[in-house]
Amino acid sequence: MFKKYPTVRYVLQRAIWYFLTFLVALSLNFFLPRLGSDPVDIMMAQSSFSSPEIRKQTEENLRKEFGLLVLDKQDSIVRDTVRSIVIDTVVNVVADTVIDEQGNVTLDSLGNVVVSERNETVINKHEKIEINAVKASKFSQLINYIGQVFQGDLGTSFKNQKKVSEIIAQALPWTIALQLPAILFGWIFGNGLGALAAYRRGVFDKVIFPLALLMSSIPFFVFGMVLVYFFGVVWDIFPAVGAYSLELTPGFSLDFILSIGYHYILPFFSIFLILAGGQAIGMRSMGIYELGTDYIKYAKWLGLKESRVLVYLFRNAMLPQLTGLALSIGQMVGGALITEMIFSYPGLGMAMLTAIQTNDYPVIQGVTLLITTSVLLANFTVDILIALLDPRVKQSLSMDAK
Amino acid sequence: MFKLLKNLIKEPMFVIGSVLFLTTILAGLFGPFLYVSMPEGATYEAPSATYLLGTDNLGQDYVALLLKGLQNSLYVGFMAGIIATTVGTLIGLFGGFKGGIVDDILNMFTNLFIVIPSFVVLVLVSASWPEGRSLTLIAVLIGLTTWPWTARSVRAQAASLRGRDHISLARINGATNLEIIFKHILPYLASYVFMVFIMQVASGILSESAISMIGLGPIGEGSTSLGVILNTAKNNSAITDGYWWGIFPAAIVITMIVFALYLLNNSMEGVFNPRLRK
């Protein structure tokens, strides 16, 4: 199928592969939180209840929320009546008067009735009726979960009864606004620097390269903390926390937009610079490798302008770097989420941190699922971009088809 | 081997990297035993003659905390690095050498875990383990989530060796697959695997600090790590209140270890890969 259109075939193949990966990710997202211990047990242990009935009710609701129970078509819990015979043995002490052969009650020397004691065992049988919610099997739980996710239902937060999808919808724009430009510009800037370092070598390389190496050794959040300390606290040039001034009401006023821009600078640079450092290193090695190839030598012999040669170099070395971007985007997003926490930026990172601190499992699961999904989407996009941009991949695609 | 070492020693990056790395290793290994911790002082005391790096929110001596944290972070880094390198190298070697369906399956497995962010897996498992998250548990988790990188690069290398003459010769002589892999392929990749290992240790240390930063790091007596120190400082508003000694020493130590490892890796790459040499 699609033999005539190798690119379409390739895109479809990749789409199917990523869909299967998504299913695996969904299963991990479902099973991993249940690996260490039952989250419901953890939450139950944290709260106290006034009566056993309320306790049972809460536990059932939690289990229902987690998809651990069998539900009927009206979404109510299917209950199973368990009848069991309970046998109680009660030992009664019976006191009998002692009667002699003549049928008279025996008296002791003081004239009191003599009593002998014996144990009498009474067996009481009664029926106990327990109404328990029916637990769903692991597999049906998973199917249930996948079904819910595809309907856009990520559950309800335990803490404030908000829909998880609502919480995520509030946080997501902030994260995208912060991370997408930071990762994109960081990638472009870093690769430009790396190509330059590879091409110039000499002093330029000797300064930029170790600097880029040092930058990429700093964890995102550590750099964020350092920026907050100097720019936000010591010199007090930029706001240290939040995405906008809390005195302003969100809206499309100029003040509000300016405030957002003002709060944007520090978190942006703490992601941008670290990321650029890592990319510059990779690009430098790629660039040096490409410099040794025949086409660059040829271009130089032809006497092409330096900037022209640099463009060729950049274009060829960029493609493996694009693959590198796809592969490391998960790590970048993870690091950038922690940066959000340092700046109390109201994005997904902060939502996840709050959820972790309060053991709000549906929110944690919702956020992790969203991160995975966006990383998969980013990878898919890059895969397709490479197929469209890289003549080498393009050619191998049409070779495969033949 | 000797010549290689001679080449390495000429590299300033290698010298700086190894000096830095040895210093941190020695400080981490022996520091906690040699340094006598100062008695508890006031909350966030500034660095002084008594407390060289000040005290934390509980009045504990930061020097002692940092040494212990360094030790634990190195432990997690190395343990995670060993696990990730072993698992990744084995999978990569077998896949790359065997080719065919075995390779396809292993490769698909590897790619699957490369695109599923390991950060997410770490968060999900750690969150379900609210009690008794030991250093070892964190290290194992990191090791088991970062191996695909190793597998991927080792596989590419092993596959390129598959068609070499000496491999065919060994096969003609009746060597088993295992023999070929360990005797004739692994030695060729040893330097490469070692470089990968260095990077895995660095990423292990970084992952540990990241997971600790969101409050899912190791918990329990004596399991302070550099990430835990930073997280505690952040939670007790050391940054916004201007207690720089709460964040900078730990931040510098993390950066220095990772920088040292990157320097080592890059200088070795320069020596092993002649093209990068000037």
Asked, for residue B10, whether it belongs to a domain, the answer is no
Give the distance from residue A296's alpha carbon to the nearest chain B alpha carbon, in angstroms.
Answer: 15
Give the distance from residue B33's alpha carbon to the nearest chain A alpha carbon, in angstroms.
Answer: 28
Q: What is the pLDDT of residues A338-355, one digit of tens each?
A: 888 888 888 888 888 888
Which ipTM was obtained for this model?
A: 0.84
Q: Quick check: A144 and A136 in contact, CB under 8 A?
A: yes
- With CA atoms as reference, report the closest residue to A191 among A203, A179, A183, A202: A183
- Name the percent of chain B lying above pLDDT 70: 97
- The pLDDT value recorded for residue B1 is 63
| Rounded Cα–Cα distance for residues B180 and B169 (Å) | 10
Which among A221, A325, A343 is the top mutation candidate for probing chain B, defined by the most B β-carbons within 10 Å of its own β-carbon?
A221
Kindly report the pTM of this predicted structure: 0.82
The pLDDT of residue A115 is above 70: yes
Mark yes or no for CB contact B124/A29 under 8 Å: yes
| Rounded Cα–Cα distance for residues B155 and A286 (Å) | 20
Question: From the DSSP assignment, how many helices (H) and strands (E) are in chain A?
Answer: 13, 2
Asked, for residue B162, whether it belongs to a domain, the answer is no
Task: Region of A18 please: left (phi>0), alpha (psi -120 to 50) or beta.
Answer: alpha
Asked, for residue B210, whether it belongs to a domain, the answer is yes
Asked, for residue B39, whether it belongs to a domain, the answer is no
Q: Identify the DSSP state of A124.
A: E
Mark yes or no for CB contact A37/B128 under 8 Å: yes
Query: In terms of pLDDT, which residue wins out, B132 or B276?
Result: B132
Asked, for residue B95, whether it belongs to a domain, the answer is no
The pLDDT of residue A8 is above 90: no
The pLDDT of residue A368 is above 60: yes
Asked, for residue B183, whether it belongs to a domain, the answer is no
Q: Quick check: B201 and B78 in contact, CB under 8 A?
A: yes
Asked, for residue B206, whether it belongs to a domain, the answer is yes
The pLDDT of A259-280, averaged and rounded, is 85
Question: Alpha helices of A201-305 — where are they, by DSSP H?
Answer: 202-217, 220-227, 254-291, 294-301
* DSSP structure string for A302-349: TT--HHHHHHHHHHHHHHHHHHHHHHHHHHHHHHHHHHHHHTT-TTHH
Mark yes or no for CB contact B240/A214 under 8 Å: no
- With CA atoms as reference, report the closest residue to B84 among B185, B199, B190: B199
| Rounded Cα–Cα distance for residues A86 and A82 (Å) | 12
Q: How many Cβ atoms are within 10 Å of B186's Cβ, its own excluded?
A: 18
Which among B115, B133, B261, B278 is the top mutation candidate for probing chain A, defined by the most A β-carbons within 10 Å of its own β-carbon?
B115
Mark yes or no for CB contact A32/B278 under 8 Å: no
Establish if B255 touches chain A: CB-CB under 8 angstroms: yes
Q: Per-residue b/e over B120-140, b at no fewer than 16 CB within 10 Å?
A: bbbbbbbbbbbeebebebbbe
- The pLDDT value recorded for residue B71 is 94
User: What is chain A's length?
Assistant: 402
Q: How many Cβ atoms are within 10 Å of A173's Cβ, its own excluded?
A: 11
- Cα angle A318, A319, A324 (rounded to 5 degrees) comes to 95
Structure tokens at A25: 């990710």
- The pLDDT value recorded for residue B278 is 44
Instruction: Please name the member of B129, B206, B214 whose beta carbon is closest to the beta carbon of A353.
Output: B214
Which residues from B are below 8 Å from A28, CB to CB? 116, 121, 124
Place of tokens 């990423």: B203
Residues 134-173 of B with CB under 8 A from A: none
Asked, for residue B101, whether it belongs to a domain, the answer is no
Give the distance from residue B32's alpha carbon to the nearest chain A alpha carbon, in angstroms.
Answer: 24
Q: Quick check: A316 and A202 in contact, CB under 8 A?
A: no
- With CA atoms as reference, report the closest residue to B204 among B74, B49, B33, B108: B74
**Taking CA atoms, what residue in B is nearest to A18?**
B112
Place of tokens 């990188």: B149
- The pLDDT value recorded for residue B143 is 93
The distance from CA A33 to its chain's CA centroid, rounded to whole angstroms, is 11
- The pLDDT value recorded for residue B26 is 93
What's the number of domains chain B is made of? Answer: 1
Q: What is the pLDDT of residues B69-90, one digit of tens each?
A: 999 999 999 999 999 999 999 9
Select the highest-mean-pLDDT range: A26-40, A186-200, B238-252, B253-267: B253-267
Using CB atoms within 10 Å of the CB of residue A22, give its burial: 0 to 12 exposed, 13 to 18 middle, 19+ buried.
buried
Residue-range definition of the domain harbouring residue B145: 18-30+54-90+119-156+196-271
The pLDDT of residue A246 is above 80: no
Q: What is the pLDDT of residues A12-69, one digit of tens each?
A: 888 998 999 999 988 888 888 777 666 677 777 767 777 777 887 777 777 777 667 7
Strands (E), B76-225: none
| Rounded Cα–Cα distance for residues A77 and A134 (Å) | 8
Which residues from A are below 8 Å from B234, CB to CB? 225, 342
Instruction: Please name the member of B210, B234, B275 whose beta carbon is closest to the beta carbon of A334.
Output: B210
Establish if B201 touches chain A: CB-CB under 8 angstroms: no
